[in-house]
């Protein structure tokens, strides 16, 4: 049975990936969340969808490096990991983060430092086994700093650059790192943006792209795919045009 681990298992994107995975075949699934009852709720739904799967729940503190190390140690001690999807994140209010460095620190920790520490901790165990895939969710927001969300964007930029470095380090091993960059997607995280009328991708489609990208061991997955082109344009806009935009 494949062993898939989901960090931030209550994320809507992650939950939809899990549904696709259990639909394909019974799995050993380890769901890691920060809240026991929310994570159990996701597990219960998946057990109904896939009674033959072995679905476990763990909780941890996502912004405590020692707890991250212990959590990953406990998971890999149980069974070798085939895939880990690192999915947690929160969309902070840019203005609050600019005004208060404590809020800024919290946003940077949970969106940037925490996911890369999970990735690093799993990488070491996977290198020892010389197999496995680490899927890590960054964002198109990490491709170029913009005034409306550069705290979140900078944290995601850390995730993207870190994953790139890990890909380089692990290139000649059996371990793959898949960097996932979703565009705006209809999940609880973007409820406020949706209420303002922003167009969103459907979470089922994004989850399908993530699952396919991980299975194929792609280096970078933009989802929906059009965001690869949009972000190429945004990254190459000259400063005199870029600075006139309210993005």
Ligand X SMILES: NC(=O)c1ccc[n+]([C@@H]2O[C@H](COP(=O)([O-])OP(=O)(O)OC[C@H]3O[C@@H](n4cnc5c(N)ncnc54)[C@H](OP(=O)(O)O)[C@@H]3O)[C@@H](O)[C@H]2O)c1
Decide if residue 189 touches ligand X (CB under 6 A).
yes
Q: CA 83 to CA 224: how far, in whole Å?
A: 22
Least CB distance from residue 49 to ligand X, whole Å?
18
Bridge partners for 28 per DSSP: 3, 54
Decide if residue 190 touches ligand X (CB under 6 A).
yes
Q: Return the ∠ at Cα 94 (arms to 42 and 238), rounded to 5°.
A: 115
* CA distances, 64 to each of 70, 105, 112, 150, 200 (Å): 10, 13, 13, 24, 32
- Closest CB to ligand X among residues 115, 132: 115
Nearest position to ligand X, beta carbon:
89
Q: What is the edge-to-edge ordering of all strands in the sheet holding 83-86?
A: 54-59, 28-33, 3-7, 83-86, 132-137, 175-182, 220-223
**Do the beta carbons of residue 86 and residue 115 sit within 8 Å?**
yes
- Closest CB to ligand X among residues 133, 187: 187
Cβ-based neighbours of 119, under 8 Å, separated by 6 or more? 84, 86, 134, 136, 162, 163, 166, 177
8-16, 24-32, 77-85, 214-222 -> range binding ligand X (CB under 6 A): 8-16
Query: DSSP state, 128?
Result: H
Decide if residue 188 touches ligand X (CB under 6 A).
yes
Least CB distance from residue 177 to ligand X, whole Å?
16
Q: Return the ∠ at Cα 104 (arms to 102 and 107), rounded to 5°.
A: 110
- Closest CB to ligand X among residues 133, 185: 185
- Closest CB to ligand X among residues 94, 139: 139
- Give the x-and-dash track for 21-60 against ligand X (CB under 6 A): ------------xxx--x----------------------
Least CB distance from residue 211 to ligand X, whole Å?
14
Q: What are phi and psi of 62, to 5 degrees?
A: -75, -10
Among 4, 6, 10, 50, binds ligand X (CB under 6 A): 10
Q: State which of positions 104-163 bind ligand X (CB under 6 A).
A: 110, 137, 139
Q: State which of positions 158-187 bind ligand X (CB under 6 A).
A: 182, 184-185, 187
Which residues form the interface with ligand X (CB under 6 A)? 8, 10-13, 33-35, 38, 62, 87-90, 110, 137, 139, 182, 184-185, 187-190
């Amino acid at each position: 049975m494949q062993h898939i681990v989901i960090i931030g298992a209550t994320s809507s994107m992650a939950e939809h990936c899990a549904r696709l995975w259990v639909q394909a075949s019974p799995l050993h699934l380890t769901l890691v969340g920060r809240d026991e009852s929310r994570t159990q709720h996701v597990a219960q739904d998946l057990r109904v969808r896939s009674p033959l799967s072995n679905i476990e729940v763990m909780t941890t503190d996502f912004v405590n490096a020692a707890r991250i190390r212990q959590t990953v140690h406990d998971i890999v001690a149980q069974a070798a990991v085939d895939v880990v999807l690192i999915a947690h994140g929160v969309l902070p209010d840019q203005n609050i983060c600019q005004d208060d460095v404590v809020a800024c620190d919290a946003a940077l920790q949970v969106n940037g430092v925490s996911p890369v520490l999970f990735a690093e901790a799993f990488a070491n165990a996977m290198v020892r086994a010389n197999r496995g895939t680490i899927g890590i969710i960054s964002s198109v927001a990490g491709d170029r700093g913009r005034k409306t969300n550069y705290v979140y964007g900078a944290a995601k930029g850390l995730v993207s650059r870190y994953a790139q470095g890990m890909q380089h380090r692990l290139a000649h091993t059996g371990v793959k790192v898949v960097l996932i960059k979703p565009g705006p997607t209809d999940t609880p995280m973007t409820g406020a943006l949706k209420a303002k009328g922003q167009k969103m991708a459907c979470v089922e489609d994004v989850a399908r792209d993530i699952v396919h990208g991980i299975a194929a061991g792609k280096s970078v997955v933009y989802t929906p795919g059009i965001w690869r082109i949009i972000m190429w344009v945004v990254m190459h806009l000259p400063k005199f045009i870029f600075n006139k935009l309210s993005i």
